[in-house]
Amino acid sequence: MCSVLRFQRNMASWVKRHVFTFDLGDIQEKRGSDSGSGQSRSTADRYFNAVFGLGLLLFCIVCMAYLSPFLGSDLPQCRSVTMYPSYALVQGFDRRFSRLGRKYHLYLYREAGKDNGFSDDNEIHLDGIPVLFIPGNAGTYKQVRSIAAATANLYYGEMRDALNNNNTKNLDFFTADFNEDFTAFHGRTMLDQAEYCNDAIRYILSIYELSDKYRASGEPLPTSVLVVGHSMGGIVARVMTTLKNHIPQSINTILTLSSPHSTAPATFDGDILKIYNAMNAFWESKFRDRDKDPFYAENVSVISITGGVLDSVLPADYTSLEGIIPSDNGFTTYTTTIPWVWTPIDHLAIVWCDQLRIVVAKLLLELVDRTSASKTRPLPDRMRLARRSLLSGLESSASADFHLWDNEDYIFQPKVAPGALTTAQEMSPILLNVETYDTLNEYNYLAIPHNEPNLRFSLLTSLENLEELHILFCQNYNEHNSNGPIEYSSRCVSPSQDFIHVPRSFENSKYPSESSVGSASLPFKALHFNQTLLSKYDFIKFRKPSKSSFKDEDFVLVELSTTDWQTTVNCNPFQLLLSSAKFAHNASSAPFIQTFRFPYLSSSLVSYKLDVSYTGENLVFEPFIAQSIDSPFETKWHLRLRDSVTITIHSEAPFIPFESHYDKSVKLRLIAPPDCNINLSLSINWYMTLKFLFIRYRLAVAALPLSLVSFVLANQFALYYSSSFFPDFSTTLRAVTSKFWLKLTLSSILLTPILNISFIQRLIHSLDPSGVNSPFLIRKKNIMTAAYYLGIREIFMCWIGPLLSCITLSLVYMLAFGISTLESCVRRVSCYMSTAISKTRMKEIWLKDECEYEEGLVLRRRIGSGIMILAVVLYVPYQLVFVLLFLVQLNTVIKLNINYFNTKRHSNLRNYNSSYLLLMLCVLPINAPMVFVFLHNFGRRWVTSFRSHHNCLAILPIILLVCDNAGLRIPRSHCIERISKLITIGSFLYLSLYSVIYGIRNLFWAHHLVNLISGWLLFTSLDLTSNN
């Protein structure tokens, strides 16, 4: 017992010396200074005003940056679409086949004039391949229409012959109607949707078993369904495979559009985080333990498509599959990367953007195989088709998919004399256009040197018809003749299937999408082969096209180069703070496709500005740049380089796991015409950097203010316990700022490197009370992740902590000022409306040492508390009750100001209730999304099981404390043990620390901590020795 008492005394002494050293006199002096007119402000006030002004200025700049439009390649360039949609309700799929058949519905999409409609028996006889579309958060089933219509138009139209699939077939698009449920906010809703979709797949497959057309065709019945998911619909598709009602092997192809695979976009509901944790662990185990269940590793493919910077609903970084799906089974790509699209797309437009829907429709028709029971091609073929359709072709891994590796469609040519071969050192790039046409030989032979590590072959052309372009890669071949001597010839193959498309870049070109699919202009075509592929061949034969195929601006540029094609620029963000990084392209010594690699620029949080200047007259095309990252596959094309170019990347992002052995370098691939020298300068674009902070740290708006409010409350209670005076929030915030702000700022900087230490990460993970973070990411050695604090790994980004701290201070002070303004207005109105009699009566009540409760009011509060507890247990989620309690607390604060008296007891009550109201206000955004879910379901007359949200213990302490506050009681400052005081102060400090370290990714748990603190405050407000 003595040791316990000694510990309490030592702890209290340490807190008094090191934590709360400003005293009540300072605060009272500040209050007097604030109320007096003409008095000079103290140094502390000036310091606070400076920090507040800085935070307010930064907040305004961030908001202005966020609202400012994008420029250049980041501008939206989607074209509108037309279709003739019709939706047939699948009436047979009801509660007999799914318990959710009354809440959700299933529709079959039919493109009018294309797809088979109703027959004479008023039914639709299906004969295609089934596809299930799953809408996202608050999405509608009608969002399927764009892609489904494009698929029907492509299959039944004139472009069907362009499909690279002889076994393709029309697609039957089914779409789920979830009544625009809020999937992102409620885990139970997500599980319901996944369960319903599994039941829907079972029913869809049974429909084909009854189809007369299918039986007549002799084709195998489908055993699986292709799944296309938008936003959270893509997550529902992956959750489906983890449920008990999932039909094994019924899903082998998942295509997602703007789906947050790597992490949950909202952390208001703990069930969502648990589902993500279980889902990612399930998928990771399926690919890891392929010996037990080889189906996933050998058959399942997941493709994630995201719109990039224009997606303002969720950060595009969240769509990454890295660390979850192996590269042989899936990848993430950006719409700026996809050939024939080349434009960023916002979150909603990604389902209807004309350029993208045509590419997706073509890909779906090429992935299917009507001769297979799974109705899809084998996994290697699907992945190869997906990479060829959705990647730029310039990635370091793209060469593995070139047909030139295994092309056996040989064309035998006569032997070429050694004198006819031109070496790479002897030749300059071959430029063929209208002006140089007559100066070039009809046949040109380029000898391929061996043992040249920098060997590259590049070709760029604007010709519309590639059949006019005759180019062959040849091997010396000895043909054995049984009737005579050996005849020497050449065995050649054509690279016609390996051409890639790149945006058109002439003087009048503005945006990459101007040459996208459906545009009046056609893109450039290119070949780019490395030394590994070229080593299979001995020479290249190039025959110039006919002169009639050339228009005035058309050209063909061919180059076989042994010059180092990649230049490494070793600059880091710290160096770019002081000066820009300068580099250049020398046309006389560098290949016309030159890559500048930046190994130390990998943060998604930093944007850059690229200034370009170049010389040259009568250029055959305007130079352009392909900005790229290999993982995830993001390529962005920049035209009109004379204007400043904004570089935004999606590489290492906050809270997103990534594989450490992947190259995360930013690469700028410059494509320049001959005789064009280019100077480039790279610097940080601070305005665009601030623009992207908002989208990536929106959840910090709830976490960080709660941390600061909790810290101020800890100081308020420390002063209250030492002096029996509870100071007001704004004055305490000023005192806290003057004493602790430099320490807090330094801590916000140091937390980033400290929390990136592996040991500290494991320690923090073990101390996490919520237990919903993904532990398998920590177990994997090659996976890097930063799940705590701001999720930052780069030391350079430490400045974000102080910046958000300043903004947080400004926001909290404005909230406190808003409450103070409300109180002042109430007092002014009350001063005019109250009668002298009521004032006298209330004054007599307030001057009493103990508040005398009227029995009627006490009874009503008890009945109200009981009703709220019963409602939580039986029907409503506790989040809705929290909103009601916030209104009750607001009413208490208003009543305390209606009858205002300048007494110590009244001042304590008013300041305490105002501070607690501010605490509830910080928790309100955490609970509000669940209220929206409940009200949405209530409007649909559907009762969704909330399970953990019906736990009355999660709200009971707050109910009792708010009712206690309404009874005009306050936690005692006297006759209370010292350890109890330390628990009160320590609990608020823990809430403050938790909100900083865990808060952004575990917002839901902050409510439970506030609930526990409320229970403790209720306990300390009880006088156990009193009969009341």
Active site amino acids: 231
> In Å, what is the CA distance from 123 to each residue of 91, 126, 199, 202?
11, 9, 21, 20
β-pair partners for 528: 458
Tally Cβ neighbours within 10 Å of residue 839.
15
Q: Which two tokens stand for residue 912?
A: 């305490």
Q: How far apart are CA 382 and CA 548, in angstroms?
A: 39
Q: How far apart are CA 358 and CA 361, in angstroms?
A: 5
Q: Which two tokens stand for residue 970?
A: 């306050």
| Per-position DSSP letters for 348-414, written without gaps between them | TGGGT-HHHHHHHHHHHHHHB-TTSTTSB--HHHHHHHHHHHHS-S-STTGGGG-GGGT----EEEE
Q: What is the length of the chain?
A: 1028
Q: Which two tokens stand for residue 30?
A: 């500040």
DSSP run (H or E) holding 750: helix 729-754
- Which of 642, 714, 704 is closest to 1013 using CA atoms? 714
- Which of 612, 607, 686 is closest to 643 using CA atoms? 612
258: left (phi over 0), alpha (psi -120 to 50) or beta: left
Q: How far apart are CA 91 and CA 106, in angstroms?
A: 8
User: Which residue reads 């501010």 in tokens?
Assistant: 918
Q: Which two tokens stand for residue 688?
A: 């665009």
Q: How far apart are CA 867 and CA 884, in angstroms?
A: 12
Would you say 682 and 580 are in contact if contact means Cβ atoms under 8 Å apart? yes
β-pair partners for 217: none
Q: How far apart are CA 273 and CA 278, in angstroms?
A: 9
Q: How far apart are CA 85 and CA 142, in angstroms?
A: 9
Q: How far apart are CA 620 and CA 428, in angstroms?
A: 16
- Which of 643, 640, 602 is closest to 623 using CA atoms? 640
Q: Which two tokens stand for residue 830?
A: 């009350």
CB neighbour burial string for 381-411, b if at least 16 within 10 angstroms, e if fewer: ebbebbbbbbbbbbbeebbebbbbeebeeee
Which stretches does DSSP call E strand in 112-150? 129-134
DSSP run (H or E) holding 555: strand 555-561
